[in-house]
C-alpha cells in the first residue's frame, strides 16, 4: 500500500481527524507526524495524553496491517505509555514505530514520539492481536 493510499484510508477516520500524516511505512517501520493543535491539548496548551496514545496506536496498527497475512485483521489488546515531556500547541510531533515481535497471533510495536526539537517525549508499547480471515 502506498503512502498516499494509507493517508487516504486514515483521512475519514479518527487518525485523520487528529491530523495524523504517515510519512514512511514499511513492514519494519512506520513514521508519522501530527500538528499539536489547541483542540488536541489540555488546559495548559500541551498535547493531551490521550492524543499521544491515539497517535501511537495508529502507527502500531498500520505497522501490523503491513505485516498481516491476506484477509486478516487486527485490534489493539494492550497499550502502555511512558510520558517523558510535553508538546506545546503550535508544534509538531513525530512518531516512529518499530516491531518488537511479529508473531502469528500477536504483534508488539514500540513507538517513540519526539518533539519538533528532536526531544523524546513519550514511549508507547502496544500489543496487536492478529484476527484470522
pLDDT of residue 49 exceeding 90, the answer is yes
At 29, give phi and psi (nearest 5°): -165, 140
With a pLDDT cut of 70, the percent of the chain lying above it is: 100
d(CA 78, CA 85): 22
CB 101 within 8 A of CB 107: yes
Model confidence, pTM: 0.96
CATH class of domain segment(s) 3-131: alpha beta
Q: Is 108 left (phi over 0), alpha (psi -120 to 50) or beta?
A: beta
52-111 pLDDT tens trace: 999 999 999 999 999 999 999 999 999 999 999 999 999 999 999 999 999 999 999 999
User: What is the torsional sign of CA 52, 14, 37, 62?
Assistant: positive
* Model pLDDT, residue 91: 98
Domain regions of the chain by residue span: 3-131
Amino acid at each position: 500500500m502506498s503512502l498516499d493510499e494509507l493517508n487516504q484510508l486514515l483521512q475519514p477516520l479518527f487518525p485523520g481527524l487528529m491530523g495524523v500524516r504517515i510519512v514512511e511505512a514499511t513492514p519494519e517501520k512506520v513514521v508519522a507526524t501530527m500538528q499539536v493543535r489547541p483542540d488536541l491539548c489540555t488546559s495548559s496548551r500541551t498535547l493531551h495524553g490521550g492524543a499521544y496514545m491515539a497517535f501511537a496506536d495508529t502507527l502500531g496498527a498500520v505497522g501490523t496491517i503491513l505485516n498481516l497475512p491476506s484477509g486478516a485483521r487486527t485490534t489493539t489488546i494492550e497499550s502502555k505509555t511512558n510520558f517523558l515531556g510535553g508538546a506545546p500547541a503550535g508544534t509538531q510531533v513525530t512518531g516512529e514505530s518499530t516491531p518488537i515481535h511479529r508473531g502469528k497471533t500477536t504483534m508488539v510495536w514500540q513507538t517513540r514520539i519526539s518533539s519538533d526539537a528532536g526531544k523524546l517525549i513519550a514511549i508507547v508499547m502496544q500489543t496487536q492481536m492478529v484476527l484470522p480471515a
